Amino acid sequence: MTTNPFDADRPPERRRRRHDDGSPDTGKRRRDESLMVPDVRFDSYYGRHIVKPAPWEKEVAAYLFLGGIAAGSALLGAGGRARGLPALQRAGRIGAVAGAALGGAALAKDLGKPSRALNMMRTVKLTSPMSVGSWILTAFGSFTGAALAIELGRPMLERRSRASGSGAVALLSTAMKLADGPATVGSAFFAPPLAAYTAVLLADTATPTWHESYRELPFVFVSSANLAASGLALVTVPARENGPARKLAAVSAIAELVAFERMQDQLGPTLSEPLRTGKAGRLLKASRALTIGGALGAVALGGNRVTAALSGAALMAASVCTRFGVFEAGMVSAIDPKYTVEPQRERLEKRRAAGVVDDSITTAR
């Protein structure tokens, strides 16, 4: 039995009735009335959920995917520049800008008004993943936008400079050449935080499955982002330049599969149930199959243009299934009260088994 400082305020327990009124003692013990009370099943709290589900629609799940593919594409674009692969460099930069733009549009739609997205930039709150993520997305978009502008604008300026012999145009072209390096470094610097912060954002909520997966979910999301970007590169880049994308796909596939299995083990049978059943379970099973098939195809058959594109499409589809599956599983865990109550009971029993009986807080880790 647990105790707490408020025990002193409890009324005294009723004394047992003694058989001194002349009534015969039958010798039978009274049946414990607690045996007549069934176990409590928590369905709601006064008609409401115990945990309020996050007020997010499917646009947020789409943003999880688009932000990831933008981050991974920026890394591949930087790698293409470092390796002297112009097609990979251009595809990576276009993918980064397109993913960031479409993801930002999905996020603004979920907020309801574009002005609300701008209002998030009025302050910086380092303890808020949403506030920090907004600034990460802004910085990432600025650097990737500059890199793509240089990618597309510099050849035009060089052609015009040769044709006209204008010194001003040549000077501007030189300035863009010098700015290309910092823009590439900036986009690559903010790519990993962009891929990971959405996992931190989900884990920062009270949604049971998301909250308890805070250790492994960032690794799952970063690996999924690299898978999606590798898939896009395999679809858009010629086979002679897709070597880095094929290697990244293989490494990311292994990392995601291992991190996801580790996450399920850490969650335990109760909190991992939404990831294994229902719509989320079907999506995540499809994700594993597509990840394995796409990665094997990228490694073994990536030298062929057609098979590389098919493998890339499978990897992108796998990333979509992962993001939407995790999103759906979190929503289910918030709606059903058992995913809140049963883990609390399990934590209480573990503390009691460890000899901790001087507290009555059932939700402390």
Concatenated DSSP letters of 21-44:
SS----SPPPPPGGGGSPPP----
CA 272, 275, 277, 279: dihedral to nearest 10 degrees? 160
Query: What pLDDT score does 19 carry?
Result: 53
Distance between CA atoms of 65 and 52, rounded to whole angstroms? 24
Beta bridge mates, 48: 45
Name the residue with tokens 């688009």. Answer: 66
SS3 content of the chain, % helix, strand, coil (to 5): 75, 0, 25
Query: What pLDDT score does 364 carry?
Result: 47
User: Could you give the 3-state DSSP secondary structure of residue 48?
Assistant: strand
Q: How far apart are the first and last CA of the chain?
A: 19
Exposure class string for 74-91: b at 16+ Cβ within 10 A, else e? bbbbbbbbeeebeebbbb
Beta bridge mates, 45: 48
Q: Which of 142, 74, 68, 62 is nearest to 106 (CA)?
A: 62
51 contacts 182 by C-beta, under 8 angstroms: no
Per-chain mean pLDDT for the chain: 87
- Indicate the range of 27-41, 50-64, 223-237 predicted with least confidence: 27-41
Query: What pLDDT score does 275 carry?
Result: 96
113-141 average pLDDT score: 87
Q: Which residues contact 331 (CB under 8 A, 6 or more apart)?
A: 53, 54, 207
Distance between CA atoms of 342 and 123, rounded to whole angstroms? 38
Specify the pTM.
0.83
Give the pair of three-digit tokens for residue 129: 């993943």
For the chain, give the percent of residues with pLDDT over 70: 84
Backbone angles phi, psi at 50, to 5 degrees: -65, -45
More confident residue, 52 or 59: 59
Name the residue with tokens 């015969």. Answer: 24
Query: What pLDDT score does 365 carry?
Result: 45
Distance between CA atoms of 257 and 296, rounded to whole angstroms? 14
Confidence of residue 73 (pLDDT cuts 50, 70, 90): very high
Q: Is the pLDDT of residue 1 over 60?
A: no
**Residue pLDDT, tens place only, 265-309:** 999 999 999 999 999 999 999 999 999 999 999 999 999 999 999
Beta bridge mates, 22: none
Query: What pLDDT score does 297 carry?
Result: 97
350-364 average pLDDT score: 67
Query: In the chain, what are the domains?
Result: 58-350 (1.20.1630.10)
Q: Is the pLDDT of residue 231 over 50?
A: yes
Query: Which amino acid, residue 285?
Result: K
